Amino acid sequence: MKKQHIFIYFISILFTISVNSQEKLDTVKTKESYGIRIGLDLSKPITSFLDTNSYGYEFVGDMRISRNYYAAVELGFTNKTTIEDYLNFTTKGSYIKAGFNYNVYKNWKGMTNEIYIGLRYGLSFFNQTLNNYTPHVKGTYFIPNTLEVNTEFKDLTAQWVEIVFGMKVETFKNLYLGVSVSFNNMLNTKEPENFKNLYVPGFNRVFLNNAGVGFNYTLSYLIPIFKKEN
């Protein structure tokens, strides 16, 4: 719930900045910058600070290829221990997500803010370690003992697709704050015998219908390569 409040508050800030930036209409034709934008997902170190069982980082990048289309990529690493009622396991691995964003926001001349919809293909390579589990036994008054197993399952993979909704706002020259939410659908995954991949790096929690959700807050910098009049 706390993450949802932070997410909504962050969107409100970016929306306010975006609206205020439109108040000055520049009628002079200008050339817009095209280049490579690289940055970091700020939510990962924040989560690592708040939750000692979770560590990870994610680098983000995009490149403008036309007036409204951007090629986009995310690279990351996750080391997360998940503790549930009857299960304790650790997921460790890396991932890459690649695709594009389409900017639906109509900027004034000289502005490069974005409100976009995007599509991603995700690929993850990871290991799962089953630390311990408690057998779920019905019809007994006795609490079953927790079994320590520490069994590692290596060389697991997962592939999925994402629909992404987000926005980016230029707060200072070439410096952008962004926020996005993604809705994920698992395509296929290599799973250990008798153990389901309940968490996948880059995909996050895997629900019963193979769906998932993700979000990020990004800080990125645009490296201009050339300018083009749009």
What is the residue type of 40? L
Within a domain: 184: yes
List, for residues 120-172, the tens digit of each pLDDT value: 999 999 999 999 877 765 656 666 666 667 889 999 999 999 999 999 999 99
Does 24 or 74 have the greater pLDDT score?
74
What mean pLDDT comes out for the span 91-117?
A: 93
Coil/strand/helix, residue 12:
helix
What's the structural domain count of the chain? 1
pLDDT at 144: 64
pLDDT at 142: 60
pLDDT at 84: 85
- The neighbour count for residue 40, using CB atoms within 10 Å, is 17
Lowest-pLDDT choice from 39-43, 51-55, 191-195, 211-215 = 191-195
- Per the prediction, the chain carries an average pLDDT of 86
pLDDT at 10: 54
Q: Give me the percent of the chain exceeding a pLDDT of 90.
A: 67
Residue ranges making up the domain that contains 165: 2-18+35-226
pLDDT at 146: 63
Q: E strand or H helix at 103, and its extent?
A: strand 87-103
Within a domain: 26: no
218, 167 contact by CB (below 8 A): no
Coil/strand/helix, residue 50:
helix
Q: What is the pTM of this model?
A: 0.82
Within a domain: 163: yes
Alpha helix (H) residue ranges in the chain: 2-20, 43-50
List, for residues 12-47, the tens digit of each pLDDT value: 555 555 545 444 444 456 777 889 999 999 999 999
Within a domain: 99: yes
CA torsion, ordered 102, 107, 110, 113, to nearest 10 deg: -60
Question: Of the candidates 120, 104, 91, which has an alpha carbon nearest to the alpha carbon of residue 181?
Answer: 120
Domain CATH code at residue 172: 2.40.160.20
pLDDT at 226: 85
Within a domain: 154: yes
CA angle (171, 172, 177) in 5-degree steps: 35
Within a domain: 46: yes
Within a domain: 11: yes
CA angle (119, 162, 101) in 5-degree steps: 20
- 223 vs 106: CA distance, rounded Å: 22
Local confidence band at 194 (pLDDT 50, 70, 90 cut-offs)? confident
- 222 burial via Cβ count (<10 Å: 0-12, 13-18, 19+): buried
pLDDT at 32: 79
Within a domain: 174: yes
Local confidence band at 222 (pLDDT 50, 70, 90 cut-offs)? very high
Does 216 or 2 have the greater pLDDT score?
216
- 49 vs 35: CA distance, rounded Å: 33
pLDDT at 25: 44
Which residue has tokens 């002079």? 28
